[in-house]
Structure 1
Amino acid sequence: MSIDEFIIAVFCFIDDEMEKFLKGKKLRARGKKPALEDSEVLTMEVVGEFLGHDGDKAIWEYFKRHWLRFFPKIPCRTSFIRQAANLHIVKNLLQEQIAARLGALIDSLHIVDGLPMPVCKFARAHFSQIFKGEATYGYCATKKEHFYGFKGHIMISSIGIVTQATFAPANVDERDVCPELSERIQGLLLGDKGYIRPELKDELKKKGVNLQTPLRDNMKDDRPKAFLKRMLGIRRLVETIIGQLTERFHIEKIRAKDLWHQYSRFWRKILAHTVCIALCIENSQKPLQFERLVH
């Protein structure tokens, strides 16, 4: 579809989902009604993210410059950014609603992984005042490097839909976050060696979640080799999803200066990714072929 058709498709999709989400209720009980409808703001954010405009200012400028005929009531930049940030919880709940409708929660297979979200370059960490008292030092085993900031935690379904996500200070153990992420799922959960902890496996088992990970070199593995090979192949899917979230949506970049705006940015990117999957499915395309949505 063309970019015009894509914007219209995203708006119609978001507007329908908002209608289901609100169920006839008003989002605001008092105060002046914003110039833009919330569905319009969310559409601008999702489309902006898809096109690589991941900053609030960049999204506002893009639509102000090119799409006033679609959004004639675009307010000043400050008002747009404030309205977008005020929708941070809506983005979270809307994404969860879409994921549930697509069957992600009842999927029998999920994969969990994490990614570094540095606040600044490591050499500047000692001098950084951004998120002071909230950001911490951590280590990324995949990249084999230390960083300062937060760590994103992502759980996906078997076709790549984000089932649950969060971010925490970089020094928080991913095994401590895993129970929260897996609260609403059951079945097989695949993780990497970083999730090895007998107590965690037992805790999840009581909730109907079978956590399976590769074992360390000094641990005996009696599982069938065919299963281990299959597990390794399936786990590559989460690497693909994290690759999309970082390369297209820049989820690892910290541009906000407080947790409120960072939370909004984080869920905007997750929502945009989920909406793209939904549109791919609606257009009879493979769920992760985002590049075919606009041509």
Structure 2
Amino acid sequence: MDEQIVAIYTLVNDLLLGLGHHENSQCRMNDSEVITTAIVAALFFSGNYELARAFLHQGGYIPTMLSKSRYSRRLHRVSHYIVTFIEMLGAHWKGVSSDSIYVIDTFPIVVCDNWRIRRCRLYREEKYRGKIASKRRYFYGLKLHLMVTSQGQPVEFFLTPGSESDVTHLRSFQFDLPTGSEIYADKIYNDYAMEDLINETRQVKLCPVRKKNSKRPYPPWRTYWIKLHRKIVETTGSSIARRMPRSIHAVTAAGFELKIALFVLAESVSHIFKVAT
């Protein structure tokens, strides 16, 4: 863990320097340490900032650790860098990918179960009530839309309310991929107009699993190939879910969404360690 924590700090510090980030030299705890603490929390402590703060302070990694409230304010002040880091690491994974194959899927992020909606303070609108079709149950929260490489590295993500359709937000993906890339997806993403638009404007081919009555069927080997690669994004989604606690503690909606972004970033960082070993 020691080497990983040092590597995380070095990576964060280099990325901030590359972005031209400047901060007040009088700050007891610099922004690199603030963000490193958050990533360590997501990577090793299920997103618990307090456990990460105590571990890094008592272990001598960050002797000038801020108090709980001051740390929270500082983290939210630099929270926009979390998404930027995910995008920068995503660009790196796209650059080192050899096969130009990507996979997309959505995953429910539960804020609370259906029967506790009236007591939920983070989200209160009906649009956050979604359904997990595979489990035949409703939930209240968000959907994580995720794109990964053929090796499972996250390259793009965004969040939507739980009730909104996956195919509707297919247009929300940037699809900033190398020319000739293929994107594999579940059958719910069948949208011929969108497939043609992406192919025409981005020179990228969207290949969802076809329905039985599809007007554009694939040969059997092609269907098998797409389904085989779809397991990659499911594995990555499961890995992100395992990092999350049973219930994500957050006081505000912004804090809740920040923690989800940190779990995605932690997953991307973990692939750096896998490559290094």
Structure 2 match to 1:257: 251
Give runs of aligned pairs for residues 194-233 of structure 1, distance below 5 A.
194-207=188-201, 208-219=203-214, 222-233=217-228
Q: Which amino acid aligns with 1:247?
A: R
Q: Which of residues 257, 264, 273 in structure 2 aligns to 1:270?
A: 264
Query: SS where residue 73 of structure 1 aligns?
Result: coil
CA distance in 2: counterparts of 1:134 and 1:181, whole angstroms: 24
Q: Out of 1, 4, 12, which is 2:2 matched to? A: 4
Whole-angstrom distance in 2 between the partners of 1:81 and 1:60: 11
1:78-97 to structure 2, matched below 5 A, reads 78-97=69-88
Per mean C-alpha deviation after superposition, the further-off stretch among 70-79 and 254-263 is: 254-263
- The partner residue of 1:280 within 270, 274, 277 is 274
Question: Residue in 2 aligned with 1:176?
Answer: 168
Letter aligned with residue 87 of structure 2? E
Amino acid at match of 1:175: V
1:38 corresponds, among 12, 31, 34, to 31
Aligned length: 273
Amino acid at match of 1:200: M
Q: Distance in 2 between matches of 1:93 and 1:196?
A: 30
Q: How far 1:114 sits from its partner (Å)?
A: 0.6
Q: Are the structure 2 counterparts of residues 104 and 261 from structure 1 closer, same or farther at C-alpha, using a change threshold of 3 Å?
A: farther
What TM-score do you get using the length of structure 2 for normalisation?
Answer: 0.88
* Cα distance in 2 for residues equivalent to 1:134 and 1:74: 40
Q: Residue 290 of structure 1 corresponds to which residue in structure 2?
A: none
Distance 1:264 1:222, change over 3 A: closer
In structure 2, the partner of 1:58 is 51
Q: Is 2:240 the counterpart of 1:240? A: no
Within-5 A mapping of 1:46-195: 46-64=39-57, 66-67=58-59, 69-103=60-94, 108-133=100-125, 136-185=128-177, 186=179, 187-195=181-189
Q: CA deviation at 1:91?
A: 0.9
Structure 1 unmatched ranges of 5 or more: 286-295
> Percent of pairs identical after alignment?
20
Distance 2:101 2:250 in 1: 34
Shift of 1:162: 1.0
Comparing 100-109 with 161-170, greater Cα deviation is found at: 100-109
Summarize deviations over 1:8-42 as a string: whole Å, max 9, x none. 122222222222222xx41x5xx785321111122
Shift of 1:63: 2.9
RMSD between aligned residues: 2.4
